[in-house]
Structure 1
Amino acid sequence: MPDTTIHNLSRRRFVQGAAAGLTLGFSLPAALAAGAPKAIAASAGAASAGATFEPNAFVRIGSDDTVTVISKHLEMGQGTYTGLATILADELDADWATVRVEGAPADAKRYNNLLWGPAQGTGGSTAMANSWEQMRKAGATARAMLVAAAARQWQVPAEQIQVRQGVVSHPASGRKARFGQLAQAAAAEAVPANVRLKDPKDFTLIGKVAPRKDTAEKVNGKARFTQDVHLPGMLVAVVAHPPRFGATVKSFDASRAKAVKGVVDVVQIPQGVAVLARDTWSAKKGRDALSVTWDESAAFKLGSEEILARYRELAKKPGAVARSEGQVEPALAQAAKVLTAEFDFPYLAHAAMEPMNCVVQFDGQQCEVWNGEQMHTGDQYALAALFGIPPEKVVIHMLYAGGSFGRRASKSADYVLEAAQIVKATGGRAPVKMVWLREDDMRAAYYRPLNHHRLEAALDAQGRLVAWRHRLVGQSIMKGSAMEPAMVKNGIDATSVEGASSLPYAIPNLQVELHTPEDIPVPVLWWRSVGSTHTAYSTEVFLDQVAKAAGKDPVALRLELLAAHPRHAGVLKLAADKAGWGQPLAPGQDGARRGRGVAVHESFRSYVAQVVEVTVAKDGSLKVDRVVCAVDCGVAINPDNVRSQVEGGIGFALSAALYGEITLKEGRVEQGNFDQYPILRINEMPKVETYIVPSAEAPTGMGEPPVPPLAPALANAIAAATGKWLTRLPLRTGELAA
């Protein structure tokens, strides 16, 4: 095993040194599918070296009382490590101070995502949902074995033994032992086939506020990210990518690049030309000096506006039907009033704090990877195919990731394969750290698809909503990937229409249609909350337009249409009540106009309603004053983390609503860094109030659901203040001048 000691440099070294003084897509073989693991790996029960107790794949207890929780899911800032540790530690009755977390290796037989089948990975806000019972059983199993060991040693009935905060005790005799003292004996006990889980009323950590497990390491500089990995002899690679999608390398001249001090080699790979150097800066300088001639004969050369023009024409025609109820066409024809609206949504970059990067080493027989790993099984199989080795010979070390928002969950293992291609092109003579600079991350990446929506609604003579037709036009995320057979049915990509095809409102005549252009090669991928990023906006903004036309209060209309959906209605009522819906806002100063807007949406089985308050100045400048958010995510494992996800999701969504836009001009991405792709500044962040619906339902996701309602609630607030509906994102606030 190579030396993977972290050599922290510059800012990281400063943080560590000063900490004490600071006061501030893939295919799985049938054999693997047939061997899908049980919820708890039963192969454990034996102790490793010394007095370590490892009863299953998810927990290890050492003689020093340390409880190590093994996380099969990536920690990329969303609180996964804390959430999973909370579930297990509560059933174990561990002392939270002794609990630590480490990332699991790539091993779908032990660490598969139970909602995905025999595949390991993080995404779709599934981490807590698929691990809830699994981690509870893992903790309860370890607890039962510790109790059994104590009962055997003390010769007392197991029923008389208590466990609290990492201490096993027998009150009647006064005997006590810490977990570490019982570890070796517990390892000799049989793994129970069944364990009793706690009654929720007995939870001591779940539902409470427990400090996050990743905070201290991220503050003191000990957290391990890909940039912290330095292997002996390692080279750093920066890649010159084609300026247009579909272009390839025609020829290149590496002489000037190789003359740069520190540059070691220049190699061509399928993705472009890689410059390898002793450090990142030298690799970048070498790439800047590189001369590449691109073959653009098959390159895509349309711009964003040209794509949108095509989409708008498609939306005038019927598409593939994703949902159909009643008779929409006759209802529209016979309506007393018909409303129509069109919405445009741009390509969006993921723009995570940490651009794509990966360390790969191949010795001819085994491949090792270090990165913020999100799609373990897909990447493992892709690398195995590239190097011609069995998947189990691909070892993945999961480190922290500085954000993802869907980008690291690559359906094609693109950036991981790019790093491996460089290793292969150099004959595997050295480990390679591939680093994407911010410009690479924006111009050579994958994007949230550009979309166009056309909606029609019919009102009868009494102002009742009797028909709704929704046509969407946009690229398919799933088409062409190994997930297409499961996710694309009858020409409908479920991720394209989610939120529209699942519209909860009681409308007797409803139809959702989809056009999926196949001649647009811009690479697209899921982006935080996927299809709901655009469907929530169009449906919730259009419903407000319907409410105005019908002369109804927007909240009242929604509640009327949500009679069969109590969880939607529950968060809507809570958010409206806490926001003071129906009460007048304080007037704006100097002619500024104020408004309040609402939206409710379900995604990833979590229900979120938001009320936004805005102030619009005479010149059209906008200030988002307040966001009130109500969530129903089942059991809130860690309420503080739920609030953090709400606040982060609102900031993320607001940034996209105000600024987010990737544009193409003659096939080239125009944005390269945050000067051209601005993000929300801290002084623009509104006051956020979060209210969690008490629930006994199994937990659902919170990483993505806070995102969809923000933009439509904001647009509805702007319309309430100004009477103007903004139907294109990002919001063109220049249209709001009085």
Structure 2
Amino acid sequence: MNVNVSRRGFLIGSAATTTALLVGVNAKGALAATASEAPMTDFNPFVKIDADGTLSVVIKHFEMGQGTTTGLTTLVAEELDADWSRVKTEFAAADNKKYANLFFSIQGTGGSTSIANSYMQYREAGAAARDLLIRAAAQSWGVDPSSITIEKSVLKSGGKSGHYGEFIAIATTLTPVEKPTVKTPDQFRLIGDASLHRKDNNSKTDGTAIFAMDVNLPGMVYAAIYRAPKFGGTVTSFDDSEAKKVGGFIAAQVLPNKAGVVAYGKNTWAAFQARDALSIEWDFSKAETRSTDKMIEDHKALLDAPQFNANHEASLDDVAPLLKGAAKTIDAEFTFPFLVHAPLEALNCTIEPVGKGVRVHDGCQMPALTVPTVAGILKLDPSLVEVRTLYAGGSFGRRANPQADYNAEAAMAFDLMGRKVPVKLVWSREDDIRGGYYRPMAAHRAKIGLDDSGKIVAWDHRLAVKSIMKGSLFEGMIKDNVDPTSVEGVSESLYTVPNFGIGLSDFQTPVPILWWRSVGNTHTAYAMETLMDMLAHETGQDPIELRLAMLDPSGANQARMINAIKLVRDMSGWKKGDKRGFACHFSFNTCVAVVADITVSDETSVHVDKLYMAVECGVAINPDVIKAQMEGGAGFALAAIMRDQITLSEGEVEQSNFPDYELLRNAEMPAVEVGIVESNNAPTGVGEPGVPPTGPALANAIFATTGKRIFDLPMTKAGFDFV
């Protein structure tokens, strides 16, 4: 990181007036520091140190339960040798230029990138602050800076000592070093400490944590929307005579985009009851009207003649003659249903008038999308849209859709209400399950050709799935018409596969689809790891030994996966011939390997007894958070893969709430033992990579125990019950 810092920003402040030291980077990406009284306009602080010695870390990635407030804070606190009990966190303001995700180039959280993209940024900010404080203390005490140490937020040299805050006035007059020296792994005190408690533990336990759903402003009006029951439907007319009979009803209006009718009430219940009492006429001429069986049939038809080549090293035409000459083939066809995100905190957003602009109260995952969306609908300059980011009760991708749909709806509702009072839009559970965004339905067809010795000679792999990226703000990721999120996990497989042809077709439907925890890997990992297990069975090889043989140890990520596989093999005590399931997968630059132990009774009743999970994710910033993410990812995957699906009847979603779209029950959650491969490499993602290999590990365990393969999800379609 190069530095080009103006003295203007630093020669300010005095012991009498300086209330805080701010350290971060300026618009050019250079390290910078200033006092709170005169912040630079192009400055984005990551570190704030108050006069009383309190350290606050500014979090540019929002918290939805994945642990960013703890992880990013650890990086700064480590470099400053801070007293963890005195470290606070606060969410960054919405500013696309100042707080951009370095991987996305816009401000937002997702793709398991928070720690990976901010690792050195936050560490260097902390190291720069440390250097400034040490030099300030040396100047104050008249000692050599090398004599000064820091322990639990206190600087010491000989018999002298003082907390951070005693030196911030001098520190604001100093220029940060061009490249601060960060700690080496052997010096880590907080990074890697499994006993370090999460920063959001206490507030989420005692109820003081503020989520978007908790916002309650004076004069606030509540809004609920009656959306089209078929995706793509539009309003032609409505009657609110029955809604007017609901106590607390205020008004009802057609949304400008005609996608629904918004009902206003004096409280949430009134808004919901009035909404449900509306009588609406719809135009379904452009809506999805197919049922699930027909949509599956149409997906499979696309597999016959893929539209795009997803592997330029070998086309399906190249592979075809090799398959014809194979001594034996392994054939399989898979189908995957729509899945909904269903975060426990239902979607909601509050917009209030503030001066000439508005303030958006939201568990905001993508400020870079929310701000322009709200500004565009309200015809405001984006600078007049302020976002107050709050905790979010889960997301799994739902809050990060390119259309910023619920923010857009809130803005329309606020506008229709006259923009004079705060308006809070609230979704019900039924709203989100019946009319939200979904993991796309997908179909795979694979044919693997083997020679007489059982070695692969060619592999034909075809996928049909609606593109998430096409037509969105992220369309720039598409190359040669191939959406990478449709084929990831197949095209990016770490296995050495000769003559690997991959064909893709884009399914078309008005059903809105979106990334869902681990995106395309949710279906590609299941297909690939089931096929690998089939290959092991067909050739009489141990499933783990087969994978190890197909991973080239000279490749960096392959070597990481080998380490994860060997760790889980040792953890689980795996032996050749065990009736257990194994799967591994590389996603979000992280390697995860899983062994599943199950009990099957009456041939169809399955209980998942235990999962062993090994993860290679670079340096483990917070081991306890990593373990929690692996455990949570496993539970999330099991519920979805065992029984969950979104089905349509003539275009309308049949599920509505948790009774028919079930979460995993306590008794169904297996014991999970997580092992973390020791590494000093830069950290990689952990929020999503635990999901993809869990399902196929269970499927492979079911085959090992019952001899039955499961190709169509959810597993209950194959007649299995889970107990």
TM-score range, shorter chain: over 0.9
CA contact (8 A) 2:43 2:98 kept: no
Instruction: State yes or no: 1:239 paired with 2:230.
Output: no
Give the structure 1 partner of residue 167 of structure 2. Answer: 182
Give the structure 2 partner of residue 136 of structure 1. Answer: 123
With 259-268 and 85-94 compared, the bigger mean Cα shift is at 259-268
Whole-angstrom CA distance in 1 between matches of 2:182 and 2:222: 49
Give the structure 2 partner of residue 414 of structure 1. Answer: 405
Name the SS for the 1:694 alignment partner.
coil
Give the structure 2 partner of residue 495 of structure 1. Answer: 485
CA contact (8 A) 1:36 1:109 kept: no
For 1:494, give the aligned amino acid: P
CA contact (8 A) 2:462 2:504 kept: yes
Instruction: State yes or no: 1:607 paired with 2:607.
Output: no
CA contact (8 A) 1:144 1:195 kept: yes
Whole-angstrom CA distance in 1 between matches of 2:142 and 2:183: 25
Whole-angstrom CA distance in 1 between matches of 2:481 and 2:625: 38
Whole-angstrom CA distance in 2 between matches of 1:639 and 1:82: 11
Cα drift, residue 190 of structure 1? 2.5
Q: Deviations over 1:392-424 (max 9, x none)?
A: 211001100000000000111111000000011
For 2:612, give the aligned amino acid: V
Match of 2:620 among 636, 639, 642: 636
With 101-110 and 187-196 compared, the bigger mean Cα shift is at 187-196
Give the structure 2 partner of residue 203 of structure 1. Answer: 188
Whole-angstrom CA distance in 2 between matches of 1:372 and 1:569: 38
Name the SS for the 1:325 alignment partner.
coil
Cα drift, residue 733 of structure 1? 6.7
Cα drift, residue 189 of structure 1? 2.6
Cα drift, residue 362 of structure 1? 3.4
For 1:325-724, what aligned pairs fall within 5 Å after superposition? 325-326=313-314, 327-363=318-354, 365-484=356-475, 486-518=476-508, 520-564=509-553, 565-582=558-575, 595-724=579-708
For 2:563, give the aligned amino acid: G
Whole-angstrom CA distance in 2 between matches of 1:56 and 1:313: 52
Name the SS for the 2:123 alignment partner.
helix
Cα drift, residue 248 of structure 1? 0.8
Give the structure 2 partner of residue 81 of structure 1. Answer: 69
For 1:31-46, what aligned pairs fall within 5 Å after superposition? 37-39=27-29, 42=32, 44-46=33-35
Cα drift, residue 254 of structure 1? 1.7
Whole-angstrom CA distance in 1 between matches of 2:231 and 2:576: 52
Instruction: Determine what percentage of the aligned residue pairs are the same residue.
Output: 46
Cα drift, residue 548 of structure 1? 1.1
Give the structure 1 partner of residue 244 of structure 2. Answer: 258
Cα drift, residue 331 of structure 1? 1.7
Name the SS for the 1:294 alignment partner.
strand
Q: 1:123 to 1:38 in 2, by over 3 A?
A: farther
Whole-angstrom CA distance in 1 between matches of 2:380 and 2:44: 28
For 2:643, give the aligned amino acid: Y
Name the SS for the 2:646 alignment partner.
coil
With 374-383 and 285-294 compared, the bigger mean Cα shift is at 285-294
Match of 1:316 among 294, 301, 304: 304
Give the structure 1 partner of residue 12 of structure 2. Answer: none
Cα drift, residue 340 of structure 1? 0.7
CA contact (8 A) 1:362 1:368 kept: yes
TM-score by length of 1: 0.90
Name the SS for the 2:526 alignment partner.
helix
Whole-angstrom CA distance in 2 between matches of 1:553 and 1:736: 26
Q: Which runs of 4+ in 1 moved over 6 A?
A: none
Give the structure 1 partner of residue 213 of structure 2. Answer: 227
CA contact (8 A) 1:529 1:707 kept: yes
For 1:104-115, what aligned pairs fall within 5 Å after superposition? 104-115=92-103
Give the structure 2 partner of residue 70 of structure 1. Answer: 58
Name the SS for the 2:401 alignment partner.
coil
CA contact (8 A) 2:616 2:678 kept: yes
Q: Deviations over 1:700-737 (max 9, x none)?
A: 11000000000001000000001110011110275369
Whole-angstrom CA distance in 1 between matches of 2:227 and 2:43: 48
Q: Deviations over 1:442-496 (max 9, x none)?
A: 1110000000000110110011122111100010001111111x22111100100
Whole-angstrom CA distance in 1 between matches of 2:102 and 2:306: 38
CA contact (8 A) 1:465 1:507 kept: yes
Match of 1:306 among 279, 294, 316: 294
Q: Deviations over 1:191-239 (max 9, x none)?
A: 3332111111101101112100001000111101112111121111011
Name the SS for the 1:408 alignment partner.
helix
Whole-angstrom CA distance in 2 between matches of 1:56 and 1:389: 24
Long gaps (5+) in structure 1: 1-34, 586-594
Cα drift, residue 255 of structure 1? 2.5
Cα drift, residue 61 of structure 1? 1.1
Alignment root-mean-square deviation, CA? 1.8
CA contact (8 A) 1:206 1:637 kept: yes
Name the SS for the 1:255 alignment partner.
coil
Give the structure 2 partner of residue 93 of structure 1. Answer: 81
How many residue pairs get aligned? The number is 685
Long gaps (5+) in structure 2: 1-24
Q: Deviations over 1:616-675 (max 9, x none)?
A: 111411100110000000000000111000100000001111122000110000111011
Give the structure 1 partner of residue 3 of structure 2. Answer: none
Whole-angstrom CA distance in 2 between matches of 1:395 and 1:578: 49
With 618-627 and 714-723 compared, the bigger mean Cα shift is at 618-627
Whole-angstrom CA distance in 2 between matches of 1:385 and 1:600: 44
Whole-angstrom CA distance in 2 between matches of 1:409 and 1:41: 30
Q: 1:423 to 1:150 in 2, by over 3 A?
A: same
Q: 1:476 to 1:364 in 2, by over 3 A?
A: farther
For 2:189, give the aligned amino acid: T
